[in-house]
Amino acid sequence: MVSFCSALPRETLLSIEAEVVGLSQFVEDTTVNSVELKARKVFVLSRSITPPFSVEDASVSNAKLEEQPFYHPIHQDVRLDNRIIDLRTPTNLAIFRLQSSVCTLFREFLLSKGFTEIHSPKIISSASEGGANVFKLDYFKGSAFLAQSPQLYKQMAICADFERVFEIGPVFRAEDSNTHRHLTEFTGLDLEMEIKEHYHEVINLLGELFICIFRGLEERNEKELKIISYQFPFEPLKYRNPPLILNFSEGVQMLNEAGYPMDPFSDLSTAHEKILGKLVKDKYQTDFYILDKYPLAARPFYTMPCPTDPKYSNSYDMMIRGEEVLSGAQRIHDSELLTERAKLHEIDISKINSYIDSFKYGCPPHGGGGIGLERVLMLYLGLNNIRKTSLFPRDPKRVTP
């Protein structure tokens, strides 16, 4: 039996009839280390071929890799080419249990606040966010596009009197961005809601939502967090409750004072975002914060200008460890202003007529936001690459497996 078993390739699935015996000695590097099995019969359920790398090698901790230079880390592309084997590591299984928890917490929180879950179309007739970052596809005798966000449709749901809606769904971006934080397909956690008095109702709800997700992960996924931090050690996320809200202009001022000047009316560059994250952490001891009142010029056409200073807008981003995880705003609910803003952004009005027309039949003030699921998890866990938090990542160079 021993020689039969030792000839079996790793990853073969066995059914074993055995006696469970206690162990006097602690065994390292196994998930169960206080008992062992004395096998009587061994059956092969499913024989594996020799895998390209072992799950053990794929599980080596960062600390061990640094300590023992003879360990060669398995290259990310090799892992992703063989994602089935790679996903078998305890760390990866834990990462995707955590991902599932983020979605559950998002859904539970919003349902408890009276939101309705919707499913908007992903095949659409024109680019939802404008611009060139859209995938075009053949659609029978014509062409169509893949949705860059559920933006227009979740707003149309508000026009249709749903009051509060959310969606968890795929988002497609034809950006040739080969970075640690961009995918061409990611999962969007989106919401949109009516505003009664002030758009800060949306900001406050979003802040509460993030705190609920962070707390929920700590409470429900302690085991998974421990497993992940064994392979990829990270500092637990620091956050304040209620979260810190800074105005964009305060952020610009902090950057200026620290010697990193920037144009106060353009968007933050990735480098500025990172530096500001560090400055905020030093000053306010938080890894999560909200940046409010972005310059209007840095935001999409449907963003509501600030009523008191039209150089700014009622819009915000939310950051984890110095990187954006959410972008949101109060939206324009007046069709004339929307048309004017779209023209200013050089958007072909004829292509978004049905969207603009939706606001002609009475629409309440509303706002919302879009969160990138993979990005939230990557930054929460302090991981260095978004491909680690996407089950089968899609980027400009990868559409398989």
- Binding region for ligand ATP (CB under 6 A): 173, 175, 182-183, 186, 324-327, 370-372, 374-375, 386
In the bound state with ligand ATP, the residue whose beta carbon lies nearer, of 287 and 324, is 324
Active site residue 375: yes
Dist. CA 234–CA 252, nearest whole Å: 28
Q: How far is the CB of 102 from ligand ATP (least distance, A)?
A: 12
Going by DSSP bridges, is the β-strand pair 323-331/366-372 parallel, antiparallel, or unpaired? Answer: antiparallel
In the bound state with ligand ATP, the residue whose beta carbon lies nearer, of 186 and 214, is 186
Dist. CA 234–CA 135, nearest whole Å: 36
In the bound state with ligand ATP, the residue whose beta carbon lies nearer, of 85 and 317, is 317
Catalytic choice (36, 129, 175, 323): 175
Pair of tokens at residue 253: 């001022």
In the bound state with ligand ATP, the residue whose beta carbon lies nearer, of 39 and 298, is 298
Q: What is the dihedral of CA 197, 199, 201, 202, to 10 degrees?
A: 150
Query: Which residue minimizes CB distance to ligand ATP?
Result: 372
Q: How far is the CB of 86 from ligand ATP (least distance, A)?
A: 20
In whole angstroms, how far apart are CA 355 and each of 2, 156, 293, 330, 332? 69, 7, 25, 16, 12
Active site residue 215: no
Q: How far is the CB of 219 from ligand ATP (least distance, A)?
A: 24
Active site residue 182: yes
Q: How far is the CB of 166 from ligand ATP (least distance, A)?
A: 14
Cβ contact 301:130 at 8 Å: yes
Catalytic choice (192, 194, 224, 324): 324
Q: How far is the CB of 119 from ligand ATP (least distance, A)?
A: 18
Cβ contact 343:349 at 8 Å: yes
Active site residue 327: yes
Environment class of 212 (CB within 10 Å of its CB; exposed 0-12, middle 13-18, buried 19+): middle
- List all residues 6 or more positions away from 110 whose beta carbon is below 8 Å from its beta carbon: 117, 164, 166, 191, 209
Closest CA to 216 of 92, 110, 86: 110
Q: What is the dihedral of CA 101, 103, 109, 111, to 10 degrees?
A: -130
Catalytic choice (107, 182, 200, 240): 182
Catalytic choice (327, 331, 358, 366): 327
Active site residue 175: yes
CA angle, residues 195, 249, 312, in degrees to nearest 5: 45
In the bound state with ligand ATP, the residue whose beta carbon lies nearer, of 315 and 339, is 315
Q: How far is the CB of 401 from ligand ATP (least distance, A)?
A: 19
In the bound state with ligand ATP, the residue whose beta carbon lies nearer, of 59 and 207, is 207
**Active-site residues: which are they?**
173, 175, 181-182, 324, 327, 375
